[in-house]
């Protein structure tokens, strides 16, 4: 099987797996226990937190370990909204966010009396900054905008948005940087909160981070013990949290080399697909090279996915979290591409592990599928 679904998840890296296995055998003690074994676990976990903080140029107490980016997003949005609702109940996000942001906002609106503005995107899939400027109000307490869109790879102007929000309001700025980490530079100096996930960077599933500026307080979503600065109760996932630091260091060390390599692959794939009249490219050329969203003129997404799967290619349509729903891609619709194109799309996501030969055979298979099913 040729795997071209790296935006969904990545295979675990050998070095990370080896370290993790060794850690599991040795550091089984509860990091909150006061005996030597517990202290040893805690020490290594705090060292990992410190290393992560150093890699992001932030403070140790600004790194919160969580179980997945969906959890981090829920913490950032609900934890913040509940803590600061006395200041106002208006939230701003975009209409193309991951479901964990979208549904957290929706829940706050439906059950807790918040008002949410969903910003539109431009044709290239990037947030409409003018709309953000118009939407910002006195009672806006939080703005959440993703850095890289998981369906199209569109890269948002996060600095411009965050700077505007900070200069013109008291609102905090949260960024979902899951599809950016290890792929493009991520600068946390101008945001208040940020979300990252380990399984998108060749790390473990069940492992993620929320970056939160020291001054910001959140209401705990898991009310329990003292773990994670009293924010997230439950026995710490010690070994998983320890190995995050290594996962992050390795991916950042190779970020530029991987970016250059994947950019070349993306160009190659685009060139092949452009030659084909039946295929339309939905991802903007300025976006992340790791994600290429395309539509077939005459074949629907489900048929494309199944036919490609039968031929040995693993790709997605929409985001994987919404793959089982029949709903149309809200991202492509928001870009104004129309229903036909939105229901005929697939997402190809690339990696430094992808080869030229894989890209070439995928392009041929997609062309063939488009022709075979067009005539049926």
Ligand X SMILES: Cc1ncc(COP(=O)(O)O)c(C=O)c1O
**Would you please indicate which residues are annotated as catalytic (active-site) residues?**
321
In 3D space, the residue among 144, 143, 138 whose CA is nearest the CA of residue 88 turns out to be 138
Q: Whole-number minimum distance, CB 349 to ligand X, in Å? A: 10
Nearer to ligand X, 68 or 248 (CB): 68
Nearer to ligand X, 101 or 363 (CB): 101
- Select from 65-73, 217-225, 288-296, 360-368 the region that touches ligand X (CB under 6 A): 65-73
Cα–Cα distance for residue pair 245/82, rounded to 1 Å: 30
DSSP 173-216: EEEE-TTTTTTS---GGG-SEEEEEGGGTT--TT-EEEEE-TT-
What is the helix (H) or strand (E) element at residue 269, kind and residue range? helix 255-274
Cα–Cα distance for residue pair 164/313, rounded to 1 Å: 43
Nearer to ligand X, 319 or 351 (CB): 319
Options 94, 236, 282, 319; binder of ligand X; rule CB under 6 A: 319
156 makes contact with ligand X (CB under 6 A): no
299 makes contact with ligand X (CB under 6 A): no
Nearer to ligand X, 116 or 177 (CB): 177
Q: Strand 140-144 vs strand 345-349: parallel, antiparallel, or unpaired? A: unpaired
Handedness of CA 253, 173, 178, 236 (dihedral sign): positive
Cα–Cα distance for residue pair 327/139, rounded to 1 Å: 33
316 makes contact with ligand X (CB under 6 A): no
16 makes contact with ligand X (CB under 6 A): no
Options 10, 31, 70, 343; binder of ligand X; rule CB under 6 A: 70
Cα–Cα distance for residue pair 151/8, rounded to 1 Å: 10
Handedness of CA 302, 307, 312, 313 (dihedral sign): negative
Q: Which residues pair with 205 in a beta bridge?
A: none
Options 4, 165, 208, 294; binder of ligand X; rule CB under 6 A: 208
Q: Whole-number minimum distance, CB 47 to ligand X, in Å? A: 23
Q: Whole-number minimum distance, CB 71 to ligand X, in Å? A: 7
Cα–Cα distance for residue pair 239/27, rounded to 1 Å: 7
Q: How far is CA 348 from the centre of its chain?
A: 15
- Select from 67-75, 156-164, 243-251, 299-307 the region that touches ligand X (CB under 6 A): 67-75
Options 74, 150, 266, 283; binder of ligand X; rule CB under 6 A: 150
Nearer to ligand X, 117 or 319 (CB): 319
Rounded-to-5 percentages of helix, strand, coil across the chain: 45, 15, 40
10 makes contact with ligand X (CB under 6 A): no
- Which residues, 6 or more positions from 355, have their beta carbon under 8 angstroms from its beta carbon? none
331 makes contact with ligand X (CB under 6 A): no
Residues 174-203 within binding reach of ligand X (CB under 6 A)? 176, 178-179, 197
Cα–Cα distance for residue pair 16/131, rounded to 1 Å: 43
Options 69, 92, 291, 292; binder of ligand X; rule CB under 6 A: 69
Nearer to ligand X, 90 or 98 (CB): 98
Nearer to ligand X, 68 or 77 (CB): 68
Residues 87-146 within binding reach of ligand X (CB under 6 A)? 98, 100, 146
Residues that bind ligand X (CB under 6 A): 68-70, 98, 100, 146, 150, 176, 178-179, 197, 208, 319-321
């Amino acid at each position: 099987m040729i795997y071209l679904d790296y935006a969904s998840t990545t295979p675990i890296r050998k070095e990370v797996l080896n370290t993790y296995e060794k850690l599991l055998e040795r550091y089984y003690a509860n990091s909150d226990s006061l005996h030597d074994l517990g202290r040893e676990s805690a020490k290594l976990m705090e060292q990992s937190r410190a290393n992560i903080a150093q890699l992001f140029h932030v403070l140790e107490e600004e790194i919160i370990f969580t179980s997945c980016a969906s959890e981090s997003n829920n913490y950032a949005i609900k934890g913040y909204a509940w803590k600061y609702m006395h200041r106002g109940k208006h939230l701003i996000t975009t209409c193309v966010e991951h479901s964990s942001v979208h549904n957290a906002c929706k829940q706050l609106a439906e059950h807790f009396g918040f008002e949410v503005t969903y910003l539109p995107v431009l044709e290239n899939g990037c947030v409409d900054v003018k709309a953000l400027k118009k939407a910002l109000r006195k009672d806006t307490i939080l703005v959440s905008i993703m850095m890289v869109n998981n369906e199209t790879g569109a890269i948002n102007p996060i600095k411009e948005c965050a700077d505007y929000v900070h200069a013109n309001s008291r609102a905090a700025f949260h960024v979902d940087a899951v599809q950016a980490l290890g792929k493009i530079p991520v600068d946390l100096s101008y945001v208040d909160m940020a979300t990252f996930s380990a399984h998108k960077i060749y790390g473990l599933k069940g492992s993620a981070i929320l970056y939160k500026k020291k001054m910001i307080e959140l209401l705990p979503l898991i009310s329990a013990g003292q773990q994670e600065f009293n924010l997230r109760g439950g026995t710490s996932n010690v070994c998983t949290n320890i190995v995050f630091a290594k996962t992050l260091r390795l991916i950042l060390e190779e970020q530029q080399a991987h970016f250059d390599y994947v950019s070349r692959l993306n160009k190659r794939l685009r060139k092949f697909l452009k030659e084909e009249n039946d295929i339309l490219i939905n991802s903007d050329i300025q976006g992340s090279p790791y994600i290429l969203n395309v539509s077939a003129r005459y074949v629907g997404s489900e048929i494309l996915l199944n036919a490609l799967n039968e031929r040995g290619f693993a790709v997605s349509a929409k985001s994987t979290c919404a793959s089982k729903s029949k709903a149309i891609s809200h991202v492509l619709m928001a870009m104004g591409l129309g229903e036909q194109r939105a229901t005929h799309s697939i997402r190809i996501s690339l990696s430094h592990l992808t080869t030229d030969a894989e890209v070439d055979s995928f392009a041929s298979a997609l062309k063939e599928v488009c022709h075979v099913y067009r005539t049926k």
